[in-house]
Amino acid sequence: MSEQQADIDVLARDVRIHVFREAAATARVPQAPEISRALGRSEPDVRAALHRLAEGKVLILAPNDGNIWAANPFCAVPSGFRVETAQKRYWGICIWDALGIAAALDSNAVITATCGDCGDRMTLEIRDRRLVRNEGVVHFAIPAHHWWDNIGFT
Amino acid sequence: MLLFRDEEHVDRWCEARDLERGVTITPEQTWRLAHGWYKDKVKPDWRRHTVDETEELLSSIGLTGAFWNLRG
């Protein structure tokens, strides 16, 4: 491994810790320019670290601009899976991740989603690490071995 | 993974997209899966689960069989 690759690996760890800490604390997923400023590293280095994290399936980059789409379970943009805690509003890219936000935060949360078919609003609630309100069924369209073939669709 | 009102809605969604039906699980199972998968994700010392650990998690929730097989 070259010195530069090793440096990016070390930076990737720092970027991971920063991104997830910020996403949890602020409900906003930071992008490369602000990660660069926060860590005092160049933006190209930060983007290289983000690519390394995406290769490791730690987070997901948007296909077009290379910005973070999801530091999963935290989605960087509003979605159909809203997670409300007492303090903040978060978004998940799917119902698994929406529930995962409550788990990652170790927080009570109310999750609002819509039925994938008819669009009816549905609500789940986590309280004291228990699912105390639930409705509906969760559909996995893709077998587990192929989840990462097209994670957006999964 | 989408949430649906009931199984009939899943069928309709799949038919409309000409997709083979996958597998449905309960929100309770999904919560247990999400908790096991993500509870440490924000921690500095987080690491990816191994295949063995993921299989154990899936199995503990009753998610076994070909659909949940991680090894191809």
Domain boundary (A71, A95, A115) is at A71
The 8-class DSSP code of residue A94 comes to: S
- Indicate the domain borders of chain B: 25-72
The 8-class DSSP code of residue A31 comes to: -
Residue partners of B37: CB distance under 8 A and separation at least 6: A96, A100, A103, B49, B57
Percent of chain A with pLDDT over 90: 82
Could you give the number of structural domains in chain A? 2
Q: Closest residue of A to B44, CA-based?
A: A17
Average pLDDT over residues A87-110: 97
Instruction: Mark whether A65 and A17 lie in a shared domain.
Output: yes
Average pLDDT over residues B40-68: 94
Q: What tens digit of pLDDT does each residue of B54-67 get? A: 999 999 999 999 99
pLDDT at A151 over 70: no
Rounded to two decimals, what is the model's pTM? 0.94
pLDDT at B50 over 80: yes
Place of tokens 């997209």: B17
Average pLDDT over residues B4-28: 96
Chain A touched by B71 (CB under 8 Å): yes
Instruction: Mark whether A13 and A65 lie in a shared domain.
Output: yes
Instruction: Mark whether A33 and A90 lie in a shared domain.
Output: no
Q: Quote the pLDDT of residue A63.
A: 86
Instruction: Mark whether A54 and A97 lie in a shared domain.
Output: no
pLDDT at B70 over 80: yes
| Contact criterion met (CB below 8 Å) for A51 and A57 | no
A56/B70 CB distance under 8 A: no
Instruction: Mark whether A92 and A67 lie in a shared domain.
Output: no
Instruction: Mark whether A50 and A17 lie in a shared domain.
Output: yes
Instruction: Mark whether A100 and A52 lie in a shared domain.
Output: no
A117 lies in which domain range?
Answer: 77-133
| Contact criterion met (CB below 8 Å) for A133 and A123 | yes
Q: What tens digit of pLDDT does each residue of A120-146 get? A: 999 999 999 999 999 999 999 989 888
Residues of B in contact with A101 (CB under 8 A): 38
Amino acid identity, residue A105? L
